[in-house]
Amino acid sequence: MNCRRFQHRLYEYLDGSLSPGAQAAVERHLSGCAACRQALGAERQVAETLSGTFRRATESLQLPPEVQQRVLAALADQRRAPAEQQGSVFSWSQLAWPVGLTASVLVLLAGVFLFPRGPGSQMGSPQTRLAAGGVSIQLSYVVPIYTFRQEGGFVIDALTYQTNVIDERFPAAPARLE
Amino acid sequence: MDEEQLVRGLRSQDPGAVQELVAAHGDRLFRSACLLCGDQAEAQDLVQETLLQAVRSAPRFRGCSRVYTWLHGILLNLTRHYHRDRKRMVYDEELARQEPALLEENPNGLDVEMTSGALADALGGLSGPHREVLILRFYEDMKIHEIAAHLSISNGTVKSRLHYAIAEMQRRLPVALNLFGACGTEEKAKS
């Protein structure tokens, strides 16, 4: 081991976290190197000084009892809040998501049953074409999308349509796997 | 109450467990917070928020570390947010002037009041990451690999930050205090 490697392992040596082999190598180096022994002594002195200074500067400090009281009060408030919400007067905002979801489902079903052809002339019934060596089926359908969001005390909703097209081609005979 | 029972109590937000947590770790956490942020009032707020977050996140605590280490991790995160809000930290004069009565007990015969003030000033001049490693090493007595795990950085980064932080402390602490003896401020002043 040389001085550079010793410097690299100095902290771990002080921590006692080196492997037995590395520990022995460090000690062999220290026994023959005055400069590294001095560096080790200096590091120990720094550690002792800083630890002592930190301790002396803070040892009289105690957490004021109000802090514990405030923590317990905040937790009690937190526990109380949901219970009060459950027993409180009716609020539209509590129903926003269930109502919105139900409305979306109803509008979707209504769109499927009441507007099977959709607003466009090309949509609705499947079109079947005979392609060379197979069959091509095109199907389009309209999906009504009901979206809503809550802003402050208001629920804002919007109804839009999305047209989906399915275009599938089936070969006349299933392809044979080689 | 052992740590497992303590965590179980925290999960159910049992007030007794919270009191036990404060009794076991409150003062130590508060002192560490004072060193980290340099202001007693802020340190109180930081510890209060740390305790609240600990209770709320107790169901997610898997017990891979000691309870104090877990608490200190929360405190460090909160302290970083606090420092982000304040570009430059100003240390509390009260903290700097703790325990004048210890003057006679000081084995080195140093003026503790002056030393604490100088220490607070020197710490306040370090960057957050350098202050963190210094406090974890010399106040929390953590080993290099423990600091690395606590801060999610490599051992090499810890050693490099520590080396720089110590050099800065030696440079910033007044020569008159001669805290580091032959290896420290006095030696540097002569050279």
pLDDT digits (tens, 9 = 90+) for B30-54: 999 988 888 888 899 999 999 999 9
SS3 A122: coil
Q: How far apart are CA B36 and CA B128, in angstroms?
A: 8
Question: Cβ contact (<8 Å) for A72 and B55?
Answer: no
Q: What does the domain layout of chain A look like in residue ranges?
A: 1-85, 95-171
Residues of B in contact with A67 (CB under 8 A): 22, 26, 30, 44, 47-48, 51
pTM greater than 0.90 (yes/no): no
Which tops the pLDDT comparison, A166 or A31? Answer: A31
- In the structure, what pLDDT confidence band is assigned to residue B147 with cuts at 50, 70 and 90? very high
pLDDT digits (tens, 9 = 90+) for B118-136: 777 888 888 889 999 999 9
- In the structure, what pLDDT confidence band is assigned to residue A138 with cuts at 50, 70 and 90? confident
Q: Is A20 exposed, middle or buried (0-12, 13-18, 19+ CB in 10 A)?
A: exposed
**Closest residue to B48, CB basis, from A17, A70, A79:** A70
Residue A94: what pLDDT? Answer: 62
Q: How many beta-carbon contacts under 8 Å exist across A and B?
A: 121
Count, in order, helices (H) and strands (E) of chain B.
Answer: 10, 0
Q: How far apart are CA A153 and CA A150, in angstroms?
A: 7
Judged by average pLDDT, the poorest of A2-11, A119-128, B26-35 is: A119-128
What single-letter amino acid sits at B155? Answer: N
Residues of B in contact with A82 (CB under 8 A): none
Question: Cβ contact (<8 Å) for B18 and A75?
Answer: yes
Q: Does any CB of chain A come closer than 8 Å to the CB of residue B57?
A: no
Q: Which domains does chain B have, with CATH numbers?
A: 1-93 (1.10.1740.10), 107-191 (1.10.10.10)
User: Do the beta carbons of residue B168 and residue B133 sit within 8 Å?
Assistant: no
Q: For the complex shown, is ipTM > 0.90?
A: no
- Residue to substitute from A18, A38, A54, A60, interface B, most B β-carbons within 10 A: A54
Q: CA B150, B155, B157, B162 torsion: positive or negative? A: positive
Q: How far apart are CA A72 and CA B7, in angstroms?
A: 16
Question: Cβ contact (<8 Å) for A63 and B22?
Answer: yes
Q: List phi, psi (to 5°) of A171.
A: -70, 150
- In the structure, what pLDDT confidence band is assigned to residue A173 with cuts at 50, 70 and 90? low
Q: How far apart are CA A144 and CA A52, in angstroms?
A: 72
